[in-house]
Structure 1
Amino acid sequence: MSLTSRRKNLRPEHHERRWAALAVLMLPVMLIAVDNTVLSFALPPISSDLEPTGTQLLWIVDIYSLVLAGLLVPMGSLGDRIGRRRLLLIGSTGFTVISIAAAFAPSAAWLIAARAAMGLFGSVLMPATLSLIRNIFVNPQERRRAIAIWASGFSGGAALGPIVGGFLLEHFTWGSVFLLAVPMLVPLLVFAPMLVPESKDPKPNRIDIPSIVLVMATMTPLVYGIKTVASDGLRVDVVACLIVAVIAGIWFVRRQLGRPDPMLDVRLFTNPAFSGAVSANLLSVFSLVGFLYFVSQHLQLISGMTPMQAGFVLIPGLAATIIAGLTVVPLVRRFKPSHVVAGGLTLNAIGFAIMTFAGPAGSDLGLILAFVILGAGIGSAETISNDLILSAVPAHKAGAASAISETAYESGAVLGTAVLGSILNAAYSANVSVPSDVPAAARSTAQETLGGATEVASHLGGPAGAQLLESARSAFDSGVALTSGIGVVLMIFAAVMALRTLRDAES
């Protein structure tokens, strides 16, 4: 056999076990998606056990996605250099070990640190999966099908999170939700070396440490500033953080424009279809994570459901996300992609509107309806926007476009909790009324979060406990109505933006 023939036989399109390889690569994708939703259901028991402040509670949720979003692009570049499969195995090993450490965290600070480390190894996992899929499936039709399955893994993981998480939280401690990484990643470590071929970029960009620092210097103070201004107002440190974020962001863009081999090709954003699709992707995830942040707490702490019951209540909405994502693609053959994406974002607005006007204080049936509509909108908008992100750039820039798409996903997860969660916490603290005879330490706990107030009320008992619980629930629901109203306005704005920026896009 000639050397040319041997090379041909080693090409990815001749990889006979490519679909088995895809099944293995779906494991980390689903795990990352599960982690984005399952933690919301663990917040009440975490609040009870670790007694975090309101800000710490937000950081427990946010730090993971914050680190993940900041490092996706540089880790994608690192995979190009050292090997994508190798990086995938490194990330899987690290994520498994740190998840075990998070499961047994003795304090809120420990859990925040563990979540940050999980974000680091998660950023190693995600770019490697999509890059490997694109390398394994060279046939365009097969590749589109594989990428569609990859994208549906996010929705599938989101649907799996509440069910598995609810079961675990009903029978075990909150730490069990982090141990999900073990059964999902150990098979990857066993089968990936056998099924997934290694791939590298023959001419990879150099690792640019200053650019990595600038990405983190942009996102970290930005999210901190958003959190703090919502709860404590526009303080001096908040203004300083926002100034640092703006300066670092501008510096990052200028550095990328001035380099012959930029870590992130920011010129891609000059394409309206590309930037519009990225924005739609980010805002879709923003709406999902922001909605889940307060709905999961409402179902458990106000409606009195167990974690597993709350998970089952959300199944219809999460199923709507998967179904919409898998069935919306044929619509772009009959309708413009801009109309499909804008329609999905409009459904998001309707879902938030139901929460605003019907209110979480109404029946849980209204909440389920709101989430079904929201889920259908998210599935539609996110699926088509991801497709547009890849099709809006030349083929040789598809890798960079994929990294940006994943960064938008995680940035939306960060901002969904940071913006809507911070506003909700601020509205709750402003409206909750704590009985005057409650000790100072307990008073502070009750004013921070609904979970804290529920815990204090259970210790108080009697009329004082009942009064505190009623006030806390009312304050929480009023905050949900406010944040849902903001969600309506934001989603309508996003729909209009999609119509304008994506009008010339072709899927």
Structure 2
Amino acid sequence: MSGKTPERQTGQDRTPRPGAAKGAPGRWLALSVLILAVLLVAVDATVLGLATPYLSEDLEPTGNQLLWIGDVYSFVIAGLLVSMGGLGDRIGRKKLLLGGATAFGGLSLLAAYATSPEMMIATRALLGVAGATLMPSTLALIRNLFPDPKERSVAIGIWGAAASAGAAVGPVVGGFLLEHFWWGSVFLINLPVMAVLVLVGVRLLPESKNPDPGPWDLPSVGFSLVGMIGVVYCVKELASHAMDAVAIVAGVAGALSLLAFVRRQLTLRTPLLDMRLFKNRGFSGAVLADLLTILGLSGLVFFLSQFLQLVQGRTPLQAGLAELPAALGAVAAGLVAGAAARRYSVRAIVAGGLAAIGVALAALVLLSAHTGFPVLGAVLLVVGAGAGFSFTVTADVILSSVPKEQAGAASAVSETAYELGAALGIALLGSMVTGVYRGFATPAGVPADVADAAHESLGGAAESAVHLPRGLASELLASAQESFVDGLRIACGVGAVVLLATAVGAWFLLRGQSLQTGGDETVAGPLAMDDGECRDERWDGGDGDTDREHRGGGGDFGTRGQGDHGGRPCGTPESAARR
């Protein structure tokens, strides 16, 4: 007996091809198209924060609706990323990417002309559906375009730098648009990017998919969507101290749906997500680090623009420029992260980056309305650099831990961690800021209806103050701003604790991991996982060397193979494996 599991065979020739690691011709041009998709998502995410004060004045959302506008995109995208990653593996990642980009552009047009908070929330939810097709497709295509590990690390660094560049360009362009046009114009900048992406991508991008993927399991899609949205909604309501029967039912239903999803994946011949990937310590450690990192950063990311504009009185353009150091730090760090991880170690770069973010967030506990740009810019530069090092290396870890056929699903797990962390962070830390803010003392003489509006959000306080006498308006705004800054400081302090704890966890979970060094990438049968269980597919990490004990193990990020765990083909006796 061969020991192989027949129903798991993909039908693909596993024999390494000479020169396979060199990748497809024109791969760098294709990467430039993928970067456009990253820019599309990054710009959209950053401009929303800048537009929030103007959107609040026009649509007049409640504080709760404002949070939903911010986090419903993350809720939906987190629930669909795994499903869309699996769909791309089946129908083709290029097809999914271009279709999603087209939908994203059309929905951005709807968001620009939203006439109510409810319409904006619904449009943002649909944008989440379209957005779920983009990021997993880009990373999966990079995995297939760049089989050479060193080239792939460079490509991932450029991919991450593009996301950071989008975060840098978005606020500046958005600030310019907000100063000269209405708030809806910030969504329209997606349209030209989408148009170029689709028109050029049709010609330059190669198609990539699993040659024998099996069906797209609709019950799994439903379990994933209901589970993620239900659990995150429950957490959001709990954090806002508004737990009721609906939230409890949603939380229980979500937890049961996720359990059903996991159980179903374990029984399917071709699951949407191979749950055994999580037995790989490097893969799991990288995913967990991503989730907790963005969770800890969400309070700062979501409320920084409001602080700069509504507390410090900056224009949207000035606010965008003030946030620029974070993006510059992330771009610079992302481009050198792969080389740094090879020179030192994966865990040193990831843990060091996370610790740097934690220290920077701790410094923001001293934030005040009078904090100057040099201090704030230096702190944001450290935050950006830490994130650039951490996210770039963990993305490389995750992609390199799976064979090409599962690249879509693995990329989706990475993006799910990011989006779920953002949703939970906005729910937990955002609700924390909102809760502290609503406790500010209302000055005597402020009418009850004005006071109620002012306590909904800082934007509401600014709008309400317009209708008051100058002295009373100044007093109301000062009290509201002080309370808002108190909430933001607390959120940054909690985020610092989360990031420092994550740095410690990453140091232990990523021990022994090292980046691949190059050579042909092979996939040659089953391999034991970290716990000794057999995998149905084995790859040697891209360097043609299955004995990596002399390098400290884990040339492919936790699939430590024949090096430090004695990985062996399924069905091979231990004694034979030792020989």
The corresponding residue for 2:59 is: 50
String of CA shifts for 1:33-52, please: whole Å, max 9, x gaps.
11122211111101111111
Contact 2:108-2:190 at 8 Å conserved across structures = yes
Unmatched tracts of structure 2, length 5 or more: 1-16, 516-579
The corresponding residue for 1:82 is: 91
Greater percentage in helix: 1
The corresponding residue for 1:476 is: 484
Cα gap change, 1:117 to 1:284, in 2 (>3 Å) = same
Aligned to 1:328, the other structure's residue is in SS state: helix
Shift of 1:139: 4.4
Q: Are 1:291 and 2:300 counterparts?
A: yes
1:111 and 1:477 mapped to 2: Cα distance? Answer: 27
Q: Are 1:450 and 2:470 counterparts?
A: no
The corresponding residue for 2:437 is: 428
1:240 and 1:171 mapped to 2: Cα distance? Answer: 46
Shift of 1:478: 0.7
The corresponding residue for 1:496 is: 504
Contact 1:354-1:366 at 8 Å conserved across structures = no
Letter in 2 for 1:93: T
The within-5 A match list for 1:12-27 is 15-27=24-36
Letter in 2 for 1:375: G
Q: Are 1:391 and 2:393 counterparts?
A: no
Aligned to 2:438, the other structure's residue is in SS state: helix
Cα gap change, 1:501 to 1:204, in 2 (>3 Å) = same
Q: Are 1:222 and 2:215 counterparts?
A: no
Shift of 1:454: 0.9
Shift of 1:279: 1.2
Aligned to 1:232, the other structure's residue is in SS state: coil
1:259 and 1:14 mapped to 2: Cα distance? Answer: 32
2:359 and 2:55 mapped to 1: Cα distance? Answer: 32
The corresponding residue for 1:317 is: 326
Contact 2:450-2:464 at 8 Å conserved across structures = yes
2:117 and 2:123 mapped to 1: Cα distance? Answer: 10
Bigger shift: 222-231 or 167-176?
222-231
Cα gap change, 1:160 to 1:286, in 2 (>3 Å) = farther
Contact 2:83-2:272 at 8 Å conserved across structures = yes
Contact 2:143-2:404 at 8 Å conserved across structures = no
Cα gap change, 1:319 to 1:99, in 2 (>3 Å) = same
Q: Are 1:380 and 2:389 counterparts?
A: yes
2:311 and 2:232 mapped to 1: Cα distance? Answer: 28
Letter in 1 for 2:166: G
Cα gap change, 1:49 to 1:32, in 2 (>3 Å) = same
Cα gap change, 1:388 to 1:199, in 2 (>3 Å) = closer
Q: Are 1:411 and 2:420 counterparts?
A: yes
Bigger shift: 310-319 or 289-298?
289-298
Shift of 1:266: 1.7
Contact 1:317-1:376 at 8 Å conserved across structures = yes
String of CA shifts for 1:390-447, please: whole Å, max 9, x gaps.
23345554443222112222222222322211111111112x2234544444322211
The corresponding residue for 2:548 is: none
Aligned partner (choices 135, 144, 152) of residue 153 of structure 2? 144
Shift of 1:126: 2.2
Aligned partner (choices 450, 456, 469) of residue 461 of structure 1? 469
Cα gap change, 1:479 to 1:292, in 2 (>3 Å) = same
Contact 1:13-1:136 at 8 Å conserved across structures = no
Contact 1:133-1:143 at 8 Å conserved across structures = yes
Q: Are 1:282 and 2:291 counterparts?
A: yes
2:258 and 2:324 mapped to 1: Cα distance? Answer: 39
Shift of 1:131: 2.6
Cα gap change, 1:419 to 1:373, in 2 (>3 Å) = same
TM (normalized to structure 1)? 0.93
2:514 and 2:136 mapped to 1: Cα distance? Answer: 25
Letter in 2 for 1:79: G
Q: Are 1:196 and 2:178 counterparts?
A: no
1:18 and 1:502 mapped to 2: Cα distance? Answer: 30
Letter in 1 for 2:380: F
The corresponding residue for 1:351 is: 360
Aligned to 2:40, the other structure's residue is in SS state: helix
Letter in 2 for 1:173: W
2:445 and 2:250 mapped to 1: Cα distance? Answer: 38
2:156 and 2:475 mapped to 1: Cα distance? Answer: 52
Cα gap change, 1:196 to 1:391, in 2 (>3 Å) = closer
Letter in 2 for 1:326: L
Shift of 1:32: 0.6
String of CA shifts for 1:98-140, please: whole Å, max 9, x gaps.
1101101001110111111111111122222223333334444
Letter in 1 for 2:419: E
Contact 1:253-1:266 at 8 Å conserved across structures = yes
1:207 and 1:395 mapped to 2: Cα distance? Answer: 18
Structure of greater Rg: 2
Letter in 2 for 1:129: T
The within-5 A match list for 1:144-223 is 144-223=153-232
Q: Are 1:72 and 2:81 counterparts?
A: yes
2:448 and 2:234 mapped to 1: Cα distance? Answer: 28
The corresponding residue for 2:121 is: 112
Aligned to 1:503, the other structure's residue is in SS state: coil
Aligned to 2:422, the other structure's residue is in SS state: helix
1:88 and 1:298 mapped to 2: Cα distance? Answer: 35
Shift of 1:287: 3.7
